[in-house]
Structure 1
Amino acid sequence: MVDAAKRGVNVRILIDKSATVFEFDEFYAEGLKPYGIEVRYYNAAPIYYVSTINFRNHRKLLVVDDREAITGGRNVENDYYDLSEHYNFLDRDLYVKGSIVKAMRASFDAFFEHEISERYQAPEIPSSRIELQKYERKVSDVKAFLAHNPHEAETRAKIEAIARPVLASKPLYSCPEMTFTSDAPGGSFWTRFKDPYSDNYRFLRKTIFDKVMTVDKGLILASPYLLNNRKSEHLMHVLLDKNIDMTLYTNSLSSTDATYVAAQLYTHVYDWQAKGMKVYLHAGEWLDEMTTISPSIQSARWGMHAKTQVYKRTGAGQNEIMVGTYNIDNRSNHYNAEMALFCRGNDLLVTEIEQSILSRANNGYQIVGKNQAVDSEGKAVNVYGAGDPDTTKMKFMWLPSWLFNFLL
């Protein structure tokens, strides 16, 4: 981005200032200022605003020149790019070209310009000697982070050698009917009570529910977290009662980064399986989809993070896919601002997405009964994919996860 700014590109960055994961602080924003890069923070409410801090910007978007865009589940962190030796995510993105990109950029503008997105305050030079040393150390760290160095160049070369041929091999598809949906910026404790919050802010869940209700053949859901509320639970049962072929691919206890979500998943998932849903769990292992830059990364723990849905309908050109940021949980339904792209009418694209989901799912294991699961060869495996202390921790998490289900 710095190199692009040096070429005269107008670079703007909007970062969700969630206290639990936020690292790109004002020192980094100040370090980018000389290059003309503008940084703003979405919802910088203090942590004691217990309700408002839950209204996060969960959207992930890269837009270039109003001509090209990428969205999907991926955050900007090593874990999402096969670069961590401890834990990595399998994700999915959709790259698009065409007139719809202008609408995506307009949604970025809406979030960037909204009053909830704050301009950063430059760090003040402290007067005390100890604090001054910390300040100078942080300034130095930022300069080192932004500077080119041999290790970075070597890593870039390794990534390029792996990724460029893969990218070149990917076909581009035409989408006869494309839909872009985004939630609105500005959700907070006050808007939840003052405004018609659902009508004015929550658009994506309505689009998804409308799409799902038109399914008459099959529904494939890939979501790293699955926590139903009353509406989604009802919708799921309606489809199962209609004998719609439903497939779910999500994380097991061994692969999730959220044990509290697994505690609720394992409470309900056997009932869904008994009603006819095919349920696959990621096994927490690296999948041989792509080479990594070092063997040690392959032995790390892996989770799935893709948010993808496939809608299968009767009639030519009616099948459809969704790729976006939406998890099937209460946060994505009620609090997080989300976005997604839908493409209907290109069966080749639908088939590629479907096969990608099922390939990953079949590399995990399938739930076949209460506390029972099998691998791709039909051999019985641990339904959790893990033993103590993970299972004990999950059991202790059940009560708090049940009590705070509405925030998960």
Structure 2
Amino acid sequence: MIRLKLVLVIFSLFSSVAYGFGDYPYYDVHETAVDGKKNDLRMLHNGLASLALRIDMIRRAEKEIVMEYFIWERDLTGKILLLELMRKSRQMQKANKPFKVKIIVDKSITIFEVNEYYAEVLNKYGIEIAYHNRALDPLTAQFRDHRKLIAMDGVEAITGGRNIGDDYFDMDKEYNFLDRDVWVKGPMARTMRDSFMGYWNHKRMVKEATPFIVEEFSPLVRSQRRRNTLKLEIHERKRKEAREFFKVTEEVKLASPKIMKVGMEILKKFPVYNCPKMTFASDLPGSRGASLLFEDYDKYRLLRKVIFNKMYAVKKSLFIESPYWILNKPYGQTIKDLLANGKEVTALTNSLNSTDAYYVSALFYDQVFNYEKLGLRPFIYNADFLDNNPVAEKKVKDVRWGLHAKTQIYDDDSIMIGTYNIDNRSDHFNNEMAIFCDGSKEIVQDLRNNIKERMTQAYEITDDMQATDGKGNSVDVFGGAPKEAIKSMRNWKIPARLFEPLM
């Protein structure tokens, strides 16, 4: 943490001190045998099923839909979901029934797509959008809302690894993620919804439904007129583009029914379980550059406390699935302590060939061999399509696939599914959330079975620059990555080490 502060202090600008919160709604525990609160869960291992269930929730909603995402892409999936929200909102308006739709989107400059021009169109349908952290100083800009949530009427909710985009729902023609979500039904869904409202009402959210032009004033009248005319032309062009985006195309007409038919059929294969003890944990809104340096910054980082407590409490084994694997000092020491005490620690993450971030691979391969020598069992995904993962289009089977699920298993009766990666961003900067379920060996076994299927396409790292497949054959430690990818990763090695605290 000291190193992190030293690296980041040069970026810091003074700002107001954020205020604190109580535990609820960012931490809640329901134990049926103790408080009588019953929560069901369903693990969503397949992208189409997870997308179909989201659409189904929108269509069944009677009072409210709230959605919160780090990424909302302007592709087919992003468009279909927005059109479903618009259609539902208009239906409720015509029926004269009160209905609310609220969306939070993180305003990270590198990935932000659904801007104020799209919000302007959505607002005409009664849909409100808030943008998280449109920060100006470079340090505060690192603090992103990485939470992922849809909640219906405070009765059902989904969280997990999936953002909104074709690549998260097994529909992209170039690259797809093997991801995982968890659906929750019961009083914990209300807690999750209330945590959304805590973010929605926070002063860090910017609610703008109308884009505006900043006109220039200059003594050079002709120059000023030209610049303002150009700005107006760009402004109107962006407005037109936003309106065009929401037109129902033939692609949408063909895709939506197919998604629902195939996705809902797949969904039937995923059982609904009662969770004996369910915990919801989320980081608190409000952290910024100044809070890292001048406040009790740890008060915002609630989820990692819960995760570290769970890891240190394991009696026999810990399994971690994460798309990114960058062990900072606390995480690295935790893994070392568990291994030194005879605990089994297994990791499943991306190879260079399956990753979407070469700079992460540069750090992963820099660390992993040392931990393997200490007893860690690291497995890397090889980027191939998983045969038992049903898809709507055959074309996507031939593209590159990578892991994106954020999952942990503690011994034989406890799991975590959420948004938290094993890296410094999730540990220090990003707001994260997760569902924990304790006391069900049946749920753990179901999850293990799905992970076991994914690991049929994984290689185990067994020594320095060595790996084997499931049959014990020697394979490429980079997962079969092309030479260009290896070269790119090596070029990233020094920059990645320098900026590791930000990754």
Q: What range describes the TM-score normalised by the shorter chain of this pair?
A: over 0.9
State the 1:148 CA deviation.
2.1
Alignment correspondent of 1:283: 382
Moved more, 112-121 or 125-134: 125-134
Query: How many angstroms apart in 2 are the aligned matches of 1:349 and 1:373?
Result: 31
Question: What is the aligned partner in structure 2 of residue 35 from structure 1?
Answer: 125
Write the letter of the residue equivalent to 2:487.
T
2:21 corresponding residue in structure 1: none
Write the mapping of 1:110-149 to structure 2, written as runs, cut at 5 A: 110-120=198-208, 122-124=210-212, 128-149=228-249
Map 1:196-345 → 2, pairs under 5 A: 196-198=296-298, 200-312=299-411, 319-345=413-439
* SS of the residue 1:368 aligns to: strand
Q: Report which stretch shifted further, 89-98 or 146-155.
A: 146-155
Give runs of aligned pairs for residues 374-385 of structure 1, distance below 5 A. 374-385=468-479
* Map of 2:266 onto structure 1: 166
Q: Distance in 2 between matches of 1:68 and 1:145?
A: 29
CA distance in 2, matches of 1:39, 1:115: 14
Alignment partner of 2:346: what SS? Answer: strand
Q: Does 1:392 find its partner at 2:392?
A: no
Q: Encode CA deviations 1:378-408: one digit per residue, 9 max, x unaligned.
A: 2211100213111111111111111111000
Structure 2 partner of 1:192 = 292
Match of 2:87 in 1: 3
* Count of residue pairs the alignment pairs up: 400
- Name the SS of the counterpart of 1:76 in structure 2: coil
Gaps of 5+ in 1: 314-318
1:74-85 alignment, distance < 5 Å: 74-85=162-173
- Post-superposition offset of 1:130: 4.0
Q: Give me the whole-angstrom Cα distance separating, in 2, the residues matched to 1:257 and 1:102.
A: 34
Query: Corresponding residue for 1:23?
Result: 113
User: Which one-letter code corresponds to 1:90 in the other structure?
Assistant: L
2:57 corresponds to 1:57: no
d(CA) in 2 for partners of 1:261, 1:290: 26
Q: Deviations over 1:157-202 (max 9, x none)?
A: 222222111112221000010000000001101222332110x200
* Most deviating of 258-267 and 158-167: 158-167
| TM-score normalised to structure 1 length | 0.95
Any stretches of 5+ residues in structure 2 without a counterpart?
Answer: 1-84, 93-98, 216-224
Segment drifting more, 57-66 vs 272-281: 272-281
Question: Which letter does structure 1 place at the counterpart of 2:466?
Answer: Q
RMSD: 1.5
**Deviation string for 1:270-312 (max 9, x for gaps)?**
1222222221101112112333232221111111000000000
Question: Helix, strand or coil for the counterpart of 2:274?
Answer: coil
Provide the rounded CA distance (Å) in 1 between the counterparts of 2:363 and 2:129. Answer: 37
Cα drift, residue 268 of structure 1: 1.4
Separation (CA, whole Å) in 2 of partners of 1:245 and 1:192: 34
Contact preservation (8 Å) 1:224, 1:305? yes
1:317-367 per-position Cα deviation (integer Å, ceiling 9, x unaligned): xx1000000001111111101000000011111111122122212312111
| Cα separation, 2, equivalents of 1:321 and 1:343 | 5
Q: Give how far 1:121 is off.
A: 5.6
**2:252 aligned with 1:157:** no
Conserved 8 A contact 1:31-1:142: yes
Distance 1:362 1:277, change over 3 A: farther
Could you say what secondary structure the match of 1:44 adopts?
coil
Aligned-pair identity in percent equals 39
The aligned counterpart of 2:184 is 96
Partner of 1:316: none
d(CA) in 1 for partners of 2:471 and 2:253?
42
Q: Deviations over 1:1-29 (max 9, x none)?
A: 11221233310000000011000100000
Question: Comparing 374-383 with 218-227, which one deviates more in the overlay?
Answer: 374-383
TM-score normalised according to structure 2 size: 0.77
Residue 288 of structure 1 aligns to a residue whose secondary structure is coil
For 1:202 and 1:264, the matched residues in 2 are separated by: 24
Residue in structure 2 matched with residue 44 of structure 1 by the alignment:
134
Q: Which has the larger radius of gyration?
A: 2
Segment of structure 1 superposing worse, 361-370 or 16-25: 361-370
Aligned-partner Cα distance in 2 for 1:117–1:132: 27
Deviations 1:139-160 (A, max 9, x none): 2222222232222010112222
Distance 2:482 2:101 in 1: 47
Q: Deviations over 1:116-136 (max 9, x none)?
A: 011126223688454444333
Alignment of 1:361-380 (within 5 A): 361-380=455-474
For 2:212, the aligned partner's letter is E
8 Å CA contact retained: 1:263, 1:401: yes
Q: Which moved more, 1:168-177 or 1:201-210?
A: 168-177
Secondary structure of 1:169's match?
A: coil
CA distance in 1, matches of 2:426, 2:286: 15
The answer on 1:106 being equivalent to 2:201 is no
Contact 1:254 1:283 survives alignment (8 Å): yes
SS in 1 for 2:415: strand
CA contact (8 A) 1:280 1:362 kept: no
- Distance in 1 (CA, whole Å) between partners of 2:330 and 2:160 is 24
Distance 1:121 1:190, change over 3 A: farther
Moved more, 122-131 or 103-112: 122-131
Equivalent residue letter for 1:60: K
